[in-house]
């Protein structure tokens, strides 16, 4: 069953994706009521935003590492 949109996000990116996939599958099966479909959509949207935030932070970390590798700080004289 779909958790509420305000439910806590899963502990890992992978478990968030797994829950999101389950929501999509439930919605595609067409067995949810209108209210359940709306709740599933809201939860899925919240999970999607969480995943996007995680990916954006990871991308920023990669850029930071790449910039450090290509532009090492010059030693102070």
- Summarised one tens digit per residue, pLDDT across range 35-53 is 999 999 999 999 999 999 9
Among residues of the chain, what percentage have pLDDT more than 70? 83
| Two structure tokens written together for 43 | 């939860």
The answer as to whether 25 is a domain residue is: yes
Whole-model pTM? 0.76
- Structural domain including 17 reads 13-62
| Two structure tokens written together for 32 | 């949810």
The answer as to whether 49 is a domain residue is: yes
The answer as to whether 68 is a domain residue is: no
Contacts of 31 (CB under 8 A, 6+ apart): none
Count of domains forming the chain: 1
Burial bucket for residue 10 (CB in 10 Å: 0-12, 13-18, 19+): middle
The answer as to whether 73 is a domain residue is: no
The pLDDT value recorded for residue 4 is 67
């Amino acid at each position: 069953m779909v958790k509420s949109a305000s439910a806590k996000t899963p502990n890992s990116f992978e478990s968030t994706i797994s829950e999101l996939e389950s929501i999509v599958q439930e919605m595609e099966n067409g067995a949810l009521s209108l209210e359940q479909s709306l709740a599933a959509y809201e939860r899925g949207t919240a999970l999607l935003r969480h995943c996007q935030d995680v990916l954006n932070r990871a991308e920023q970390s990669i850029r930071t590492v790449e910039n450090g590798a290509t532009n090492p700080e010059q030693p102070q004289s």
